[in-house]
Every structure is written in C-alpha cells, then in structure tokens.
Amino acid sequence: MFSMWAPDSPTPIAHRLDKIIRCLNDEGVEVILVSFYKSKIDFKHNIYRHYSLERILPFLKRLTNIRNNEEQANVSELKSVSFFSGVKQFFAAITRCLFAPDINIIFALPTAFLLVLAILRHRAKYVFSVTNPASFACAGSFTGWLLRRNVITDLGDLWYVIKEPRLNFKFEKRFHRWLERSTVQRSNLVTFAYPELMELFSAQYPELHCKMRVMEQGYDGNFISPVKMQSKKNNVFTIGYFGSLRMNEQYKSFLSVLEGFNDLLKENPQLKPQVKMLLAGSISDEFLQKINSPEISDNCNYLGYLRAGELESKMEECDAFIVVTGAKEIPFSYLVPQKLYMYMPYKKPIIYVGYAGKQLQRLKTLFPPVYPFSPEDTDGIKICLQKLIKGEFSDVTIDDTQLLKLDFRNQFKSAFAGYFKS
C-alpha cells in the first residue's frame, strides 16, 4: 500500500485506507504500508510492516511553508500591477506543471524511493496507491509500472476536473489530462469512490474503461459494538460532531448549528438538563471561544483530538450526529462527506448542514434519518433538534437490505472479485 496518510490520520482518505487494509487482510493479502506520515497506534494485526519518512517531515514542511510565504508576499506586492500579475500567473502555471500535480510531490518523491525499497525487500506483487493527494497516485503507479508489478490506483477525485476552476492556461489543463491518462494507463486496475466519477472519467477516456471499477466510500460495520450501543447510560440526549473545525468554508454551516442549538436552549430552558453536544477534533480558537461561551458551554463538551479506538467509543455514546460541509454550491454533485458513511451503521439520525448534491439525495433514500439543511435555515435546524430530543423521529425505519448496499466490504468484494486469487 502506498499513501501519504497513515490509517489513523484524521482525514477521509486515511479512513478509506484503513478500510481497504482491513478488506485486504480478509482476502489473505499481507499488507506492507509505505506512507509519509507514521501511524500513532499499533496496526500490527492488520499491517505486516509499516515504512514512513516522518522524520524528515519538519524539513519538508519548512520548505513548503517558505515557498507558500514567498508566493503570498509576491501576490501582495503585485496586486496593483496587472502586467506583472499576469507574468506571475504564467510562471506560476509552469511551476504547477513542474511540481505536478501539486506541491505534495515534495512529499511523494522521497516516499516513492522508500516504496522501491519495500517492494524489492519483500518481493511485493502489487502496488496499491490510495489518494489523495494526486501526486502519490502518480508516483505510486509509475513506481509499480517501472518495477513490473500489478498496479492498483484508488482515485478519490479527478485532478483535471477538480483543479479546472483554478487553471488559467490551456497547457495546464492538457498537462493534467495527460497526467491522469498516463496514471491510469500504467495501472492494471483503477477504483473510484463514486459511480458518477467513473462515468465522468469514462467519458473522457473511453479506451480505458475496461480498467475501471466502482468502490464507493461506504461504511465498515465492524467498527460497531452492538452490546455497547444497546446500553443507555442516562436520559441525556447526546449529539456528536467529530472532525476538524477551522475558519474555512465550513464555518458558516457549523455556526448555523450552534445558533440553532443556542436558540433551542434559550426558548426551552427545561431542555438544558436533557441534552449535550460532544465535539472532538482539531478546532480553531474562534470556534473554541464560541463553544465555551456562557450560553452553551454547560451543554457542550469538547473532547480534544481523538484517534481511532477512542473515536468509535465516543461515537457509540451518541444519539444523533452532525455533518457540515461548505456553504457554497459545488460543481460536483456526487461528492459526499466520508463522515456521513462513518455514522450510518450506528443507525442514528444525522443532521446535515451544507450543500446537498444529488448523491446525498440518493443516500437519503437508502438511509432516511439524514436531515439536510442549508446554512441559512437555522430555524429548521432548531426544530429538527427539538424533535430529535423529544423522540418524534423515532418511527423512521431503516431497511437493512438497502443499507448493506453501502457496506464497504461488499463494495470491495465486488470491485476485486477473484483479483487476488490469481
């Protein structure tokens, strides 16, 4: 396995990597993981050997920060000069191609050398690259192709499509298309996280369709402990949010949740002893101040950053979950937050605040307890919270047969049927 992230990193792609590793173990495949970041917990039962280059992380981060700071300084200096600004954009476009497909190639290249060592040392038969960033898919597929191994590439997004709004020149777009095509050409098999994504890729490269499979994000039901879930400790209704919160495009969505939660407690003070909100993850100082405000601090419990194992035990305590996304409409209607899949096997209601694409509507037909709201609809969020606390949504039925369609293990078996038997 080749990835930038370790399986216990707080990123969606790391969670997907963890699920793939578990499935490979079920297939009897011995997994050797080569990643830039090192796991903080012991994966010896799932990973035979783990190689990482985390020791050089401070140096490379310093290198990329210097580059980013220089770029920001140049932008501020050239704001008022359109000619020089255009020249800068042109050379920046060339730089993006040289460091293709993204600045993370600085991380991918040294890790690729470690991948070569691991392949030769353990006589690995497969090179399985799990993105993002895209540079690791490029480096992994090239390394496996060069060493004549079976190459599998798991694509979470299309680089050209995702980057297109930020590309200013035709040669950049052509370069990214070539990069995508060459990566897939060097791969024996390519898996996609969304059916719509594979359709989009197939339309661009129909000659490569035979190499493509769908392996949706899905959930891993093995994380769930039914015994713990059935035991209710008290009468406090617990709402959980697990993920990073910074002053980025998600902030408006989560602030809407806090506003609705605050309004609910103000209008119904009798509910204060009956409800609490659990939050875990990396949170910026701005959000921490809001959570610790006198109005809601008694009903909000910030747990800090939780790793795998700790995270699942806290999720089992929850009666409902919160998922937030960017407030702006995105051009990729198939994208769905990984957190939504993580929560599904718990069969608890999910309040979804943010942009709701077509894929979310499809998931709602399979999992009815998803309640989507726009960030502007704070009254709707408040009413939904009130009904959840009072148990007015308890009659929502979940079809286990439909839900099983989103089980990641079923997705994996379908995509790799008989592949590792040969």
Mean pLDDT of the chain: 78
Please indicate, yes or no, if residue 65 is contained in any of the structural domains.
no
What per-residue confidence (pLDDT) applies to 327? 59
Please indicate, yes or no, if residue 243 is contained in any of the structural domains.
yes
Q: What are phi and psi of 407, to 5 degrees?
A: -70, 125
Decide: 193 and 216 in contact? Cβ < 8 Å.
yes
Do 212 and 239 share a domain, yes or no?
no
HSE-CB of 194 using CA atoms within 13 angstroms: 21
Please indicate, yes or no, if residue 66 is contained in any of the structural domains.
no
For residue range 283-337, list pLDDT tens digits in order.
Answer: 777 778 888 888 788 888 888 877 766 777 788 888 999 988 775 655 555 667 7
What per-residue confidence (pLDDT) applies to 69? 38
Do 239 and 121 share a domain, yes or no?
no
Do 8 and 138 share a domain, yes or no?
yes
For residue range 337-388, list pLDDT tens digits in order.
Answer: 778 888 888 888 999 888 776 777 777 777 888 888 888 888 999 999 998 8
Decide: 346 and 334 in contact? Cβ < 8 Å.
no
Helical packing angle, 170-185 and 195-204, nearest 10°? 110
Which tokens belong to 348? 């608890």
Residue 150 confidence (pLDDT) above 90: yes
Residue 258 confidence (pLDDT) above 70: yes
What per-residue confidence (pLDDT) applies to 157? 61
Angle at 185 between CA 183 and CA 187, to 5 degrees: 70
Q: Which domain holds residue 314?
A: 221-406
For residue range 124-144, list pLDDT tens digits in order.
Answer: 999 999 877 677 888 899 999
**Which CATH number is 343's domain given?**
3.40.50.2000
Of 54, 23, 386, 32, the C-alpha closest to 239 is: 386
What per-residue confidence (pLDDT) applies to 78? 35
Do 10 and 143 share a domain, yes or no?
yes
- CB under 8 Å to 341, separation ≥6 — which residues? 217, 218, 219, 406, 408
Please indicate, yes or no, if residue 128 is contained in any of the structural domains.
yes
